[in-house]
Structure 1
């Protein structure tokens, strides 16, 4: 099989003061015509840097130190910027991880697709519109005439990713680079996008370089696999070889870190409820406009459940199922329309502002993006001690407790004197856990707390959460779209769809004998299900 792309001895240098001299070094591999090559590794492994070097999208002060990338008889790395720009979108297309930041929020989807043709002087304006419509249809977006006029914020995450794929396909490239295109998506949307990429790759005969940290995704779509660590390739081979007979210790460690399909049987929790949610309801209504009617979306539709003291309850479902809205309604970051939230006999929804401020100490949240929830201008000591100080804890005592909490979440106490940007994603999530613990709460609500982490870091944070929960006898409400994660951590699981609770029960019952068709579909959509069953 003839390579469509050959990379030889690629090295990408980092600026002075970085934690290592090279982001990528000694990297050589081929991408063959008509194959899907998965590049796997944790954050910092160099996989995205390699793709950005090919596209000429490296950050300032980061540059290619040496190496070649032969494509269609030319070395991409040696091309002038103007020639590299001609290749981008034309012969090499790219799908980014977060389409909301890659799409222009002020331009309609149709105009953004048409802009690809315009940038390369292709077609008349009328032809560009017709081709944009055809592409929107090809990537499975509903009602192309409506989508072509929509803005990015009017689409769901999966729809925005489909729009990005349409843009990448516009000029029928020979290579498609997909950089973590499904990481932020729920399992059913992820399965749809993976199937779409696989279908389009076969239809167009493209070579696909697919960057991911999820071996479940690898099992679904890869023909060959490259495993990277600290900027170097540590293993490569066919998907079957790497998944079933990994050679390098790092590959074996990544595979071990994947949440398994084994469902533990936790001891039943029979303690008194710390939280009772009764018939909770919330409907969001848009304001409309001159030409748009008001639109209402039911986010929570009569939800009721309890969480016992010392219990972990998982809330699972797709994006838009209402699971995060339930978590926010419990602490009144979102005001429910009706229903009761009883925390140790006290209805949170009936409290006035002063009462609510005092009651919130007893229920804390861990958010999905800890960097966004930490003040970048304040040291970690401030983040961990601010809440207790506001609640009347003496400053010295709060500071001492902050350093103690850092050690509890397995960080050095000296981390208190550093800023959020000085930590990795996994370390910041540990800080988020420490901040939640600082108020000595009765209940912690973790909203997608591990969904953005690499599998090995995710495994560490899950182990930490379970250890803390058992050691401190915490009650935990764990919101996630990842069924495998819920199976590993939770005592009971509640499944939500369109604002309703469709199933709730002990974790082994829900996962091994699901009653609802929706639950069965969620379980079937988890990437790599067939591979994991074969490996079991």
Structure 2
């Protein structure tokens, strides 16, 4: 006889508001997780996977209502509990790791105090015991110098360290169930590998059941025992990791797997020799962090960085968070002022120009940002967002809007979208708008800073195809900043690997991926999740 599962979701139906695009966020979902087991729930954005997690925690948005089914934790139906009873369940019986730890942690509280709060809320342990337990948890999740970091504030920690703090908080009361909602999406490959290994080790050590929400099939291959696939709120396939990844039955699962970018670069035709459109020589940038009552410190974000970029070519800047790749990209646009070195656009050395003298030349190099929602003005229509740049450079508003319609169609959206606002679009559609805005000034160089890292695999594949198609049509040179080596393999002609502000290895993508020379490059490639299964 099978042991009772830790979590049992039976026929769960979550109703959406009347004006939504479908009646139910989740429809008739049935799932079970045993002690010490990891169930990965996968699907595209909007598939309902996070709604399941929030339903288990009793944290659904007010507009989303459970109308059928049950959620049983060790036999007790959570949907039947009062809010007061659920407050006792959260933390004590169910812990949750959120996607973005910086927005989940209190910025004005020290790390240890935030863990101590968990014990205070449940009236557990004495004051000295609480602090000692907080430090012990920070030690258990592998943080260096736990005593020092216990006294630090969240902004003083790296992304990976903040995520470890979130895991420590989630495990503080040794809950029966751990919910991890996209916990590694924003992390680079080596930090991601460490966090996945940590979660896997902790669930084996404590016998915790893990509900892991993700859109990353590589992560699924690393951590899952079983997989549940959601499409628009409907559970379309469930099975072991070998069954679902090895022999997917449903067309939607097959589509998701087909969209996973391979680590094997495709063959590319050799580009004709041409004069560089972007030349970076010995670029240097130092950030100086000042502090009261203790010495400040310097961080060399870019140190003697040099490369060239030709028309129609894509150069990938890859490396961990903090390696300096985004700093280099922003220096190329002079959104950040470099401390040393030369940046040349065609024959124009832009580092020699004043801000006023640079202004008419800014249209020659444009940027696509990582978060399209944050980089698009929510109060402006799409037409205004795309046309403002050309208008600022002397084009009439009428002509700029006509060009905006053409660009919307170029990036795969309807020209009718011109009168809509950013919040009316999906993440992938907003990224297309960001690309259209960058193209409006007909640049020679496009800097794409983690332009697809926040998108699920099928939308990511569409955006990568779009970027390649536009590049071939317009002959754009692209500087592609990414921590995702799978994406870099598919889109980049050349790769430059950055570590601590320096380029440690550079070369053609196929040669660098097949025979990496530097130990750091080999470490990055080894850390790619699901490398064996999706390395094809």
1:323 is aligned to 325
| Alignment gaps of 5+ in structure 1 | none
**Distance in 2 of aligned mates of 1:240 and 1:208:** 18
The equivalent of 1:278 in structure 2 is: 281
Q: CA-atom RMSD, angstroms?
A: 0.8
Alpha-carbon offset, residue 332 of structure 1: 0.7
1:287 CA drift (Å): 2.4
CA contact (8 A) 1:268 1:491 kept: no
Deviations 1:197-240 (A, max 9, x none): 00000000111000000111111010000000100100000011
Residue 75 (structure 1) aligns with: 77
SS in 2 for 1:53: helix
Aligned counterparts of 2:10 and 2:80: Cα–Cα separation in 1 = 13
Matched, 1:361 2:360: no
Aligned length in residues: 533
Tell whether the 8 Å contact from 2:264 to 2:510 is kept in structure 1 after alignment.
no
Runs of 4+ in 1 over 6 A off after TM superposition: none
Cα distance in structure 2, aligned partners of 1:183 and 1:8? 28
Q: What is the rounded CA distance, in whole Å, between the counterparts of 2:333 and 2:289 in structure 1?
A: 23
What is the aligned partner in structure 2 of residue 417 from structure 1? 419
* Matches for 1:135-284 after TM superposition, within 5 Å: 135-269=137-271, 270-284=273-287
Cα deviation 1:297-352 (Å, max 9, x = unaligned):
00000000000111111111110000000000011111100100010111111111
Query: For the residues of structure 1 that align with 2:355 and 2:315, how far apart are their CA atoms?
Result: 28
CA distance in 2, matches of 1:438, 1:72: 57
1:531 match: 533
Alignment correspondent of 2:433: 431
Gaps of 5+ in 2: none
Counterpart CA distance in 2 for 1:102 and 1:16 is 30
The structural deviation recorded for 1:294 is: 1.6
Instruction: Tell me which residue corresponds to 1:513.
Output: 515
1:288 aligns with 2:291: yes
TM-score normalised by structure 2 residue count: 0.99
CA distance in 1, matches of 2:274, 2:21: 48
Per-residue deviation at 1:265?
A: 2.7
Aligned-pair distance for 1:462? 0.1
**1:12–1:64 CA contact under 8 A, matched in 2:** yes
Tell me the distance in 2 between the aligned counterparts of 1:217 and 1:497: 24
Distance, in Å, in 1 between the alignment partners of 2:72 and 2:346 is 66
- Corresponding residue number in structure 2 for 1:96: 98
Distance 1:16 1:256 in 2: 34
Q: Mapping of 1:1-80 within 5 angstroms?
A: 1-2=2-3, 3-80=5-82
**Matches for 1:353-502 after TM superposition, within 5 Å:** 353-502=355-504
Q: Distance in 1 between matches of 2:333 and 2:71?
A: 53
The answer on whether the counterparts of 2:260 and 2:534 sit within 8 Å (CA) in structure 1 is no
Structure 2 Cα separation of the partners of residues 25 and 302 of structure 1: 55
In structure 2, C-alpha distance between the alignment counterparts of 1:271 and 1:508, rounded to whole Å: 21
CA distance in 1, matches of 2:236, 2:474: 40
Deviations 1:346-382 (A, max 9, x none): 1111111222111111000000001111110000011
The structural deviation recorded for 1:415 is 0.5
